[in-house]
Amino acid sequence: MNLNKQYIPALLSAILLAGGLLLEFFDAFFFAGEVLFIWYAAAYLIVGSPVLVKAGRELARFDFANEFFLMSVATLGAFIIGEYAEALAVMLFYEVGELLQEKAVHRARTNIKALLDLRPQAATVKRNNRWHLVRPEDVEVNEHLLIRQGEKFPLDGTLVSGSATVNTAAITGESKPSRMYPGEKVLAGSINLDGIAEIRVNRRFEESSLSRILKLVEEAEQRKAPTERFMRRFARYYTPVVMAMAFAITLMPWFFLDVYVFEEWIYRAFVFLVIACPCALYISIPLGYFGGIGAASKNGILFKGADFMDRLRDLRSIFIDKTGTLTKGTFSVKEVKAYDLQREELLIMASALESRSSHPVAKAITGFTGTYPEDTDIREVVEIPAMGMTGIINGRKMIMGNKKLMDKHNIAIPDEIQCLSSTCIHAAVGGNYAGFFILADEIKEDSKATILKLRRLGVKDIALLSGDRHEITMEIASQLQIDHAHGDLLPEEKAAIVREYVEKGEGYIAFAGDGINDAPSIAGADVGIAMGAMGSDLAIETSDVVIQTDQPSKIARAILISRETNRIVWQNIRMVFIVKILFLGLGALGLAGMWEAVFADMGVALAAIFNAIRIQHKRFD
């Protein structure tokens, strides 16, 4: 039902309540007896019938421990003793509170529902050298799509045309447009800001990043935080106790008072029930967590459940993968030195040989060396897995690769060359050592700031885990000021370290990674964090939190959102209990009537709702 249409019953009931109060105030001669009763009864049923129906359904299942039952008993009881306006006001304000809750949830869903709007209804696909308009669901992997300026990318793919400027704000939470180049991955739901882009599809529609995000958010709504589960269990005992106390308020004075007026004490009991109704807790707690999940998605962070927000809030230790998480996972040339060759000649020959390979190391070298002359003679190129390449360049045999390849061809590496903390690619020409290229994985721009933020947030232990060489891992750890680092780790060894800490039970442990080899560690941690933009499907699938960009700083932001969400939830819990206890005492003593009960119940509920939605507008920097 449209949210605006849902306001109509409440509005009509409010008009009837206001009209009835005015008629009573001016003592209209006709507004009495049956007319008075029918007027208020009609207004009550307009707004209260959904609550009565829900209470009846729960009652049929012998469930008395719910707010619908309490609200129905209290308001019907008030009606029975002639407090028509007060009974109507209680039910009206309850319904208004429910509508405001739905509006707040609707607002919290805005960022999530915006993703639904990102799903294009059509895709322009190339078939038989012609472009056809089809449904995105009908596009197959490896087909080519055309995306015009201002259009959304219907599926995940690799850019095959020229460069394009892409807006990924709704997917990643980053408002700054990205410049994409051929060979780079583009996510479904992104917007092409200039020119015409052509992509090769990597995943079918139902497997696209956008579809996975929607699925994750839908599942997150179903997972309750410990605080929510506790309050639900609490209500199972709270409601019967409240009902028993209401009976006691009604009947116990008969044993102690000389003059016992049943109507007075039953009225107090009904006031007590209205005040005791736990709807403020039912409303504000889940709304607080849902608002937190919505705020996180707005910042490019997906929680798969509210319970993971509570765990991340109390995070004690975090283990972080190196390659692709704290580093870019792409090599760049840091240093070149030539022996027995001119530097320029070494660069030309290396460019010619490495241009025949698609390996990341080869791409890094050719990206550094640039192009080679068109008349360069390149023959007999052989790529040797895990070692390097050989070939004939301008009539001379060239060998490029690691120390193993040099040893295989009996090429002596000068003793002074040490590449302990970097990847070293050696070159030999004509059987003689010709020089070397030092390559290193680049640290992400925000990695160092991330470590500092995590420390300021009170994360006690931060460790770097990597399958890369131990020397390289230690060097990166030193640059990032990480105390503990382990290199040369197999996937099962990473997982074993995480499992050892989890089994100690000294606080929640998180693991953040992006690769298939990280999936066991992600699954084994109390909170598994996947870097979602470039991360593997398996890592994302097994994780509890997905960072939709490759920015490690979002991990610290996720902790901040978790803590702010928890702070607001407990603010609401304390506020509700303080007000409830105060007014319960006043109601039992006869110092609070139905109108005060309305404030104590729905007034505090509304305050809790407005407090909960604050998180949706808060900035987390």
Residue 514 known to be catalytic: no
Rounded Cα gap, residues 412 and 582, in angstroms: 86
CA dihedral 77, 79, 85, 91 (to 10 degrees): 60
**Cα distance between the two ends of the chain:** 37
Alpha-carbon distances of 324 from 357, 517, 523, 550, rounded to whole Å: 22, 12, 18, 8
- Which parts of 252-331 fold into alpha helices (H)? 253-256, 262-276, 279-298, 306-313
SS3 424: strand
Query: Residue 588 in contact with residue 538, Cβ under 8 Å?
Result: no
- Residue carrying the six token digits 């929640």: 508
Q: Which residue out of 156, 307, 310, 321 is catalytically annotated?
A: 321
Rounded Cα gap, residues 497 and 272, in angstroms: 55
Rounded Cα gap, residues 79 and 267, in angstroms: 10
Query: Residue 190 in contact with residue 168, Cβ under 8 Å?
Result: yes
Query: Residue 88 in contact with residue 43, Cβ under 8 Å?
Result: yes
- Residue carrying the six token digits 């739905």: 102
Side-chain-side CA neighbours of 64 within 13 Å: the count stands at: 9
Element (DSSP H or E) covering residue 493:
helix 491-504
Rounded Cα gap, residues 225 and 568, in angstroms: 14
SS3 374: coil
Q: Which residues are catalytic?
A: 321
